[in-house]
Amino acid sequence: MVTIKEIARECNVSATTVSNILNGKEHKVSEATKRRVQEAVRRLGYRPNYMAKGLRTQKTGMICIVAEDIAQFTTPEIVEGITGCCEEHGYRIIVKNLRMYARWGGSWYNDIRAQDSVRDPAIQEITPMTADGVLYIAGHARKVSCFPEDFPLPAVMIHSYAENPNVPSVLMDDERAAYELVSYLITKGHNRIGVIGGREDNIHTQKRLLGYQRALYEHGILYNPEWIRYARWDLESAYRETESLLKTGITAVFCMADRMAGGVYRYLDEQGMRAGRDFSVVGFDNQDIAEYFIPGLTTMAQPLREMGRRAAELLMGKLERGGVAAQRPHEEILIPCSFIERDSVCRLRIPEGNIQKN
Amino acid sequence: MVTIKEIARECNVSATTVSNILNGKEHKVSEATKRRVQEAVRRLGYRPNYMAKGLRTQKTGMICIVAEDIAQFTTPEIVEGITGCCEEHGYRIIVKNLRMYARWGGSWYNDIRAQDSVRDPAIQEITPMTADGVLYIAGHARKVSCFPEDFPLPAVMIHSYAENPNVPSVLMDDERAAYELVSYLITKGHNRIGVIGGREDNIHTQKRLLGYQRALYEHGILYNPEWIRYARWDLESAYRETESLLKTGITAVFCMADRMAGGVYRYLDEQGMRAGRDFSVVGFDNQDIAEYFIPGLTTMAQPLREMGRRAAELLMGKLERGGVAAQRPHEEILIPCSFIERDSVCRLRIPEGNIQKN
DNA sequence: ACACGTATGTAAAACGTTAAACCTATTTAC
DNA sequence: GTAAATAGGTTTAACGTTTTACATACGTGT
């Protein structure tokens, strides 16, 4: 591999000069030598040695993405958003997948319960020697400790709430998204609207429930605890809640995950009913599956790429400012979701006066 | 950050000795010093400086995953398989996502046509300075050129065929998977079986078609070109083929992607028909969506994690052998798929004698 | 004629690690 | 009793880059 020294010898200049030219520090170099060096670099096919560079500058030029489960459907799009931004800023990306390390057995997405803190060998390994910054993609609120203590590397949390000071979070606006979905159902004439939420202690479940509540309140509909069910984010558990929930006399249901809407669809099918005709369903996530439901599922698309990009931009800012403004209080960036209308909701023909009568 | 030198000073030994202990070269060190050093390493919280290490050894300790589209549904599980193996061998993982670089416009998964070769700035960037080896996740046959010429880095192709010599490929066994699916349909009594394939020039389409053909042949059913349609791997294009395909009088269809089966389901729904009752459908991929179809889609699961792991193991072998056996001819490793039975196929009640009558 | 600034560079040291060569005391072979 | 081997190290140089400090020539103002 050709080095800076060889370029220098080839052009009869010092290594320093070549380095200055390659790094755009051109205030000390004439146009002529600059062109001469650049030509040699191209001709000999010089590539920088990142390790030598990193050793000298004490920067790795890498961002570490820590993903609790890289195969979870939300993660890849977030990563795509991140890569876009990082490439533009000249950072390379290193990936740590925690899935394999997870000691708490069973299916990750369904069975993991919120943990106060992650203290994981894989994370402990991320030192300033590995990366210049960390982007943590989590599904639950977390306090993350890595080496050295208390996240000395600039970090941004994506898709969940960080409990560390100085670790800002980039999240979708759960409350508003739920508010919009439920308001949509109300404008379609529904006033008895059920909810199938995720785990009760999950922060997303809670925020979305607040949005549901606000929508009801603003339209003068009384909140009825009977209409609220909690499940485990998956089809099976949602399916098990559906029968008794429908018996409460609701005409529509807000499912906090498209996969849970799948449970409702299955129940409806068994009863010879059809979403969008005999009953109304909205989901959340706009996961692939929503498009393949028959009829297509009306839902809320999570702004995954956008979240990834915003988080990366935030991190780039921190790195370029050199951690100057690091003493701000916990920062939270909410990205709006986008409403996707398909065919799973029908208009209700019920006299208007009924609305107040829960 | 604490360095090897500080450990050395603390223990009154030379840096070399510390290095030897840390790297398991213990043939030249007494048990006593070894323990003393290890204790100091723990106490002072020493972490190796990968850049210094890499600069000296001329190894990066990293594997680069090149993904043509990291958000494509097959990629994350392959990556998960890779990470498992690489962690075990002490390699870190760096990710290049080519999606953003793709110059050929439009939707990647649907519109890209097979390219002879990828010669992409992102790939050109992967030099021995970036990674020790490359795992390339592609959807189409490819000749990959990176810098320096002709893949000097050990590489393995996953999920598609590499046209480079010395770049082995790890693939699912398309032919056999298709053979099994179609044989399954035949044992259920079907003998007029349609196909909705992917793009006609796609290598997976071709191999699966061969499997289809073999199944027919072995059961004495004549191949009928009328029953074969090509689409673009997506719901819409498959939907457009469905009507005329069904008019040929088939009783079952083999879709080469679950998403295309979605097109068939949509058509059936419009006709008041139902898969698994009035018509039979099998898919391919066992993508998430298959489970959410109503009724559930019988399909073939791609062995994605397994492919990722096998490819990584192959690469580790190459790296540890130091490229000694690199002059073998093109190697192809086929991983079997696994059949997933759900409810989209019905048994046909037709007199047995009918079978020969196409 | 002199000091001084500016443009255009160069030399040497340093980043943290490991490979190669070297050293010394003790044990073993014969 | 001597040579050779072994155990248990040490010293030095090198990996490729960037930073810091220094050097030279030329123009300019006075």
CA of B357, closest CA in chain A: separation in Å? 35
B residues 259-278 near A, CB within 8 Å?
A: 259, 262, 265-266, 269
Whether B100 and A77 lie within 8 Å, measured CB to CB? no
Residue B1, pLDDT score: 86
Contact B50 A130 (CB under 8 A): yes
Give the model confidence (pLDDT) of B202-228 as tens digits: 989 999 999 999 999 999 999 999 999
Residue B48 touches partner A, C-beta closer than 8 Å = yes
Using an 8 Å CB-CB cutoff, list chain B residues near A66: none
CA distances from A57 to A23, A49, B112, B270 (A): 13, 12, 41, 64
Percent residues over pLDDT 70 in chain B: 87
Chain A residues touching B94 at Cβ < 8 A: 62, 92-95
Is A1 in the B-facing interface, judged by CB distances under 8 Å? yes
Nearest CA in chain B to A85: B100
- CB-CB under 8 Å, A99 with B94: no
Choose the closest CB to B292 out of A84, A96, A262: A262
Q: B28: pLDDT confidence band, cut at 50, 70 and 90?
A: confident
CB of A73 within 8 Å of a chain B CB? The answer is yes
Question: In the predicted model, what is the mean pLDDT of chain B?
Answer: 88
Residue A7: what pLDDT?
96
Cβ contact A162:A168 at 8 Å: yes
Q: Is the pLDDT of residue B117 over 60?
A: no
Distance CA A254, CA B107 (A): 31
Interchain proximity B80–A71, CB inside 8 Å:
yes
DSSP characters for A262-314? HHHHHHHHHTT--BTTTBEEE-SB--HHHHHSSSPPBEEE--HHHHHHHHHHH
From the Cβ of A57, is strand D under 7 Å away? yes
The pLDDT, as a whole number, for residue A163 is 78
Stretch B67-83: mean pLDDT: 94
With 60 as the cut, is the pLDDT of residue B282 above it? yes
Rounded CA gap, A351 and B254, in Å?
A: 49
Average of per-residue pLDDT across B226-247: 97
pLDDT given at position A119? 52
Q: How confident is the model at residue B358 (pLDDT cuts 50, 70, 90)?
A: very low
CA distance A216 to chain B (A): 30
Give the pLDDT score at B114. Answer: 38
Runs of H (alpha helix) within chain A = 4-11, 15-22, 31-44, 50-57, 75-88, 108-111, 121-124, 174-187, 203-218, 235-246, 258-270, 288-292, 304-321
Q: What is the pLDDT of residues B316-350, one digit of tens each?
A: 999 988 655 555 667 899 999 999 999 999 998 75
Extended strands (E) in chain B: 62-67, 92-97, 117-118, 133-137, 143-144, 155-158, 169-172, 193-197, 228-230, 252-255, 280-282, 299-301, 332-335, 338-340
> Which residues of A fall within a CB distance of 8 Å from B235?
291-292
So what's the pLDDT on residue B143? 74
What does the pLDDT read at residue B160? 87
A76, B77: Cβ pair inside 8 Å? no
Chain B touched by A130 (CB under 8 Å) = yes
Please write the tens of the pLDDT for every residue from B47-64.
999 999 999 999 999 999
User: Tens place of pLDDT for every residue, chain A, 358 residues?
Assistant: 899 999 999 999 999 999 999 998 877 789 999 999 999 999 999 999 999 999 999 999 999 999 988 999 999 999 999 999 999 999 999 999 987 654 443 333 333 333 444 556 677 778 888 999 999 998 777 776 655 555 578 999 999 888 777 889 999 999 999 999 999 999 999 999 999 999 999 989 999 999 999 999 999 999 999 999 999 999 999 999 999 999 999 999 999 999 999 999 999 999 999 999 999 999 999 999 999 999 999 999 999 999 999 999 999 999 988 655 555 667 899 999 999 999 999 998 755 544 444 4
Chain A CB within 8 Å of residue B50 CB: yes
